[in-house]
Structure 1
Amino acid sequence: MPTSAIPLPPPSGATPGILRLRSTRPGRAGSERRIAWLFGLVAALVSFAGSWIPSFWGDEAASVLSAERPLPSLFRMLGHVDAVHGAYYLGLHAWIDVFGASPLSVRLPSALVTGVLTAGVYFLVRELRTRRFAVAAAVVVAILPRVTYFGGEARSYAFGAAVAVWAVFVLVRLVEGRATGRRWWVLYGVLMAAGVYTFLYFGLLVVVHAVVLLQARASRQTFRAWAVASGAAVVAASPVLVFGLSQHGQVSFLARSRASSVPSVLISTWFGTVWFAVLGWGLIVVAVGFLVADVVRDRRVASAGGGGAGRPVSLTVLALAWLLIPLGILLAGNLVVADFTPRYVSYSAPAAAILLATGVVRLAGALTRTRREALVLAGALLAVVAVAAVPGYVGQRTPYAKHDTGWQSVSRVVGAHAAPGDAVVFDESTPTWMRPRLALTTYPDGFRGLRDVTLETPFAEADWWSSTAYTVDRAVALGRFDGVTRVWVVEARTDDYGLEPLARIGFERVAWYPAHGATVVELRR
């Protein structure tokens, strides 16, 4: 939601950091809206382009299979697992009913919401800084690797990041006194509750917002209103908080991952590649350096005892708190209970973009003498950032980009060789989210007419998000192979899954075909 109070660039000699002047001319608000939503459109297109190319991976399979269930089945499942994603699954359920469950379809909502996120970043930065800063932030957030990743993924992270931006925007307007009245605090509380429904750890932003109020020396009245709105948001989000905490065991696999290693945190969390991470952290250090210089200068020029009530919100302090506090809390908690992977702080990606943009604009201003020179240099630095993002962006849109998963390849190979009436067996020896059986449910075309002879409980009837299966021995005992003359075994981790019990009932391996991450074995009797 745009503001009618548009900040002007600081006059010559003014402090461009914490102190700045604002214009109250409302006539330019329409222009700001058009610029913001133009950047939002561009960002949505950037995230959407090529998003349909990579194979689904485990988390996306959970999204699609959960959303395809009948609603009673979905609610039953959420009582056992994935309650933290329940709101997203419900929304995706309605979307799939209209647009289908193809990779293009189910990833499109995230791209569209990334556009809303980018427009929100423009409005937020424009609320506190000049148009130059806002444009730079919108450009960076549109191409930031973490953003282009979740903007092309069928998960809830784009939604959480978008809600985070707009919640911060509303809070800043309230703290700065440019939005008043109970309805704005109600809106803030609704956004915070909605954010928790997109993902449980969104609630950590309450700590970030407390830092914003402290930095701005907000009044007691503002603190009270914020506390009431935040408390109401917690109460409204209590169902997902209770269910999410009770289901924490479902992420126990994180204890065996390297997600909290230093390279993972510094590179994977927001930047994707080593070179972009070097550039990104360098610009963040630059932004912090200018913040320190601003604080020192402001203290020198302040009158003695100048600790008066109220001061402008510092965009850099806000972004630093937003970037580091949720990350720090989760990493600290990870020392006790595994609870961290880089995508869990996706809602802090806008903060990373704001800090990079701040580093670009402030560095350009410090290295030049005129406004025109500063604009040219800032544009050149943004071009460097964009070029650095290209390898990661292209890599995100290759067929096997998502955790090297290739289920579309498995479906294609099976479809090219199998015939209706044949049986298919899937390797069940891998973790659930890696099992090749998910190729059947996410890319069903290659399996049309085949008999899933080891299926025990279809996913729509199970309490877990995926189907359950019998062992091959059990399926044989149940007579599932009676009348079958040809079987296709999709091997993943091993090259002999189920072959021994099949050999005992007369099947012989006659051919095998490579697929990405799997081997399709043909057996006849």
Structure 2
Amino acid sequence: MGGPAGPSSVTPFTADAGAPSRAGRILRSVWLWPMLLTFGVGLYKVDTPELWRDELASLSAADRSVPQLLRLLEHVDTSSGAYYFFMHCWMKVFGDSVLVLRLPSVLAMAATAGCLAAIGRRMLSARAGVLAALVFAVIPSVSRYAQEVRSYALTMFMVTLATLMLLRALEQPRARRAKRQRMLRWLLFGGSVAVAGLLSLVSLAVLPAFGVLTLLEWRRQRDRRVLWGFVSACVGGVSVLIPVAVKAAGQASAQISWIPEPSLTDVGHLWPQIGCSYAVSYGMAACLVLLLLLAAFRRIDRTQALTALTLAVLPVVVVWLVSQGGQSYWLARYLLFIVPAWALVAGAVLSCLGRVAAVSGLVVVTALGGTNQVQLRARGSHDVWDYPHSVKAASVDYEAAAKVIQANHQPGDGLVTAQWLWAPFLFDVGLRYYLPEGELGLRKPVLAQTANKAGLLGQVDTAQPRRPIGSEPRLWLVTLVVGEELEPYRFIAGDIGAALQAHYRIEKQWRVSSGAEVALLVRIPSPPK
């Protein structure tokens, strides 16, 4: 008879038997089309938003030699060290264009969609897996952080992969080679946990949820090897992270002490940021309530519903509790690894509907996030760190500033940048990226140490320059703008600003973006003696 052989058939896979080809099986797999959709959505206008502060930090760190990078990690960002080393190798091979820098995140998001489809198939059904992965693909935060030169997308992928590896490890292996299969699966799970932790220590908040999944499966199997395997894999994976965690804890107060301790009301405030959309985020929250109702009326298996809800909710509770009374980690982008679990909840709800209703639900989710998708691809969109609570921010267009300098520079010109908070680091890295500084030979009269020598992310300026202010015939002043008026000396240290005004006059000013200006300063001729 024609058609594919049934599950119990022992007919070999041949064309005569009607077995699908390898290509046919791939085309019909649950993971392929969600992966391609996520990849396409993530790649769309990937190089349009300018690199923002955190992405410039990644660029600054990765664009160093290994000894220089190790020196940096002694001072800052140990918790991001694994990502920086990965990007260092990536840039060595593929270069440092904006597309190339963001491509690993795009690929990681696509791989996350594939893993999510496989998770949904194992936990719920193939239909639920596909729907969950398709929902995931159109969530605005997925494409937003697919276009981010940070570790968030890779962390999301590793947490999702760890979930898939856990489900595989909890399955009863075939009798033949069962011991070897079980050990290999737990090793893969433990390795995934370790890599996720190396990318983001906050992602370890998912471990209690993994523990609940393991207990539910142990209750069904009554096999102690399930518990021992889980504990051993977690201990092994976490033990690798101890040196990183200890070093990062010592740096936390200097790097993330600004994150406030969360209250209960902050849960509602943070939630739209995780989805980068009010409508989509609250829609996913509504799916949680719907899944509870479906489980209550036995429209869906209660254990399956509990598993999905645990993965979606428990990590948020853990991070909230850990952030009480000590260092807070209550930041939306630190919690992005839960987005696949919430997409899984939505997929579970949609799978209980008819085909037309399920497709309509996908269309609604896509439409709800449509405006967000457009806004998140604007030139300065990445500077809006609390989107969607804010839609616009004062952005610094480093490329536009570099073009002004490159088009108007002369040999012997110097460069001075704003000296307020992160400004020296931002302008140092941002202008070096877009400006062929080696060709222009711009002097830096207030430079004390380069970023590499200081072991920091950006250069260190000084209030006591070694060269007298006024040595260069012309200076380019690149600084911040607040409001409509151009005040080029507002963010320059007092003594430096006074010296600049004493020795130079402003020849011309360019407003290059909503948050930055470039001013050309020309030396005032000395009065005749």
Q: How far 1:207 sits from its partner (Å)?
A: 0.8
Q: Which residue of 1 aligns with 2:241?
A: 237
CA distance in 1, matches of 2:141, 2:348: 18
2:352 equivalent to 1:348: no
Q: Which residue of 1 aligns with 2:390?
A: none
The 3-state SS of whatever aligns with 2:76 is coil
Q: Which residue of 2 aligns with 1:291?
A: 295
Q: Which amino acid aligns with 1:91?
A: F
CA distance in 2, matches of 1:328, 1:77: 33
2:444 equivalent to 1:452: yes
Question: CA 1:201–1:432 in structure 2 vs 1: closer, same or farther (change >3 Å)?
Answer: farther
Q: How far 1:255 sits from its partner (Å)?
A: 3.4
Q: How far 1:30 sits from its partner (Å)?
A: 3.5
CA distance in 2, matches of 1:470, 1:63: 24
Structure 2: state its 5+ residue gaps: 1-5, 8-18, 175-180, 384-392, 524-529
The 3-state SS of whatever aligns with 1:355 is helix
The 3-state SS of whatever aligns with 1:55 is coil
Q: How far 1:26 sits from its partner (Å)?
A: 12
Q: How far 1:442 sits from its partner (Å)?
A: 3.1
CA distance in 1, matches of 2:307, 2:444: 54
Which of residues 431, 450, 475 in structure 2 aligns to 1:487? 475
Q: Which residue of 2 aligns with 1:415?
A: 406
2:164 equivalent to 1:169: yes
- Percent identity reads 24
Q: Which residue of 2 aligns with 1:391?
A: 371
Q: Which amino acid aligns with 2:307?
A: L
Q: Which residue of 1 aligns with 2:226?
A: 222
Q: Which residue of 2 aligns with 1:195?
A: 196
Kept in 1, the 8 Å contact 2:426–2:458? The answer is no
Q: How far 1:438 sits from its partner (Å)?
A: 3.4
Q: How far 1:105 sits from its partner (Å)?
A: 0.9
Q: Which amino acid aligns with 1:150?
A: Y
Kept in 2, the 8 Å contact 1:141–1:147? The answer is yes
Structure 1: state its 5+ residue gaps: 1-5, 8-24, 300-313, 365-373
Which of residues 510, 514, 520 in structure 2 aligns to 1:522? 520
Identify which range, 316-325 or 61-70, moves more after superposition. Answer: 316-325
Which of residues 475, 494, 497 in structure 2 aligns to 1:499? 497
Q: Which amino acid aligns with 2:202?
A: Y
CA distance in 2, matches of 1:61, 1:408: 13
Q: How far 1:37 sits from its partner (Å)?
A: 2.7
2:329 equivalent to 1:339: yes
Q: TM-score, normalised by structure 1?
A: 0.83
Q: How far 1:334 sits from its partner (Å)?
A: 2.6
Which of residues 82, 93, 96 in structure 2 aligns to 1:98? 93
Question: CA 1:50–1:40 in structure 2 vs 1: closer, same or farther (change >3 Å)?
Answer: same
Q: How far 1:359 sits from its partner (Å)?
A: 2.4
Which of residues 254, 267, 273 in structure 2 aligns to 1:268? 273
Identify which range, 28-37 or 194-203, moves more after superposition. Answer: 28-37
Q: Which residue of 1 aligns with 2:360?
A: 380
Kept in 2, the 8 Å contact 1:202–1:347? The answer is yes
Q: Which residue of 1 aligns with 2:418?
A: 427
CA distance in 2, matches of 1:204, 1:393: 29
Kept in 2, the 8 Å contact 1:123–1:169? The answer is yes
Q: How far 1:126 sits from its partner (Å)?
A: 0.9
The 3-state SS of whatever aligns with 2:508 is strand
Q: Which amino acid aligns with 2:351?
A: V
Q: Which residue of 2 aligns with 1:254?
A: 259
CA distance in 1, matches of 2:343, 2:411: 52
Q: Which residue of 2 aligns with 1:304?
A: none
Q: Which residue of 1 aligns with 2:148?
A: 153
Q: How far 1:263 sits from its partner (Å)?
A: 4.8
2:104 equivalent to 1:109: yes
Q: How far 1:353 sits from its partner (Å)?
A: 1.1
Kept in 2, the 8 Å contact 1:120–1:165? The answer is yes
Q: Which amino acid aligns with 2:509?
A: W
Q: Which residue of 2 aligns with 1:461?
A: 453
2:27 equivalent to 1:39: no
Q: Which amino acid aligns with 1:380?
A: S
CA distance in 1, matches of 2:166, 2:406: 54
Kept in 2, the 8 Å contact 1:67–1:74? The answer is yes
Kept in 1, the 8 Å contact 2:406–2:435? The answer is no
Q: How far 1:461 sits from its partner (Å)?
A: 2.2
Q: Which amino acid aligns with 2:314?
A: I
CA distance in 1, matches of 2:90, 2:101: 8
Which of residues 45, 57, 76 in structure 2 aligns to 1:50? 45
Q: How far 1:41 sits from its partner (Å)?
A: 2.6
Kept in 1, the 8 Å contact 2:425–2:458? The answer is no
Q: Which residue of 2 aligns with 1:71?
A: 66
CA distance in 1, matches of 2:304, 2:152: 23
CA deviation digits over 1:494-516, x for unaligned, max 9?
72224322122x21123211022
CA deviation digits over 1:458-505, x for unaligned, max 9?
22222222221123xx22xx215454111121121572224322122x
Identify which range, 95-104 or 210-219, moves more after superposition. Answer: 210-219
Identify which range, 398-407 or 84-93, moves more after superposition. Answer: 398-407
The 3-state SS of whatever aligns with 2:235 is helix
- The structure, 1 or 2, with the larger RCO (C-alpha pairs under 8 Å, 6+ apart) is 1
Kept in 2, the 8 Å contact 1:413–1:446? The answer is no
Q: Which residue of 1 aligns with 2:125?
A: 130
The 3-state SS of whatever aligns with 1:177 is coil
Q: Which residue of 1 aligns with 2:312?
A: 323
CA distance in 2, matches of 1:351, 1:252: 28
Q: Which amino acid aligns with 1:412?
A: K
Question: CA 1:132–1:50 in structure 2 vs 1: closer, same or farther (change >3 Å)?
Answer: same
Question: CA 1:358–1:434 in structure 2 vs 1: closer, same or farther (change >3 Å)?
Answer: farther
Q: How far 1:322 sits from its partner (Å)?
A: 2.1
Q: How far 1:315 sits from its partner (Å)?
A: 4.0
Question: CA 1:438–1:354 in structure 2 vs 1: closer, same or farther (change >3 Å)?
Answer: same
Q: Which amino acid aligns with 1:290?
A: L
CA distance in 2, matches of 1:227, 1:511: 66
Question: CA 1:213–1:442 in structure 2 vs 1: closer, same or farther (change >3 Å)?
Answer: same
CA distance in 2, matches of 1:236, 1:26: 43
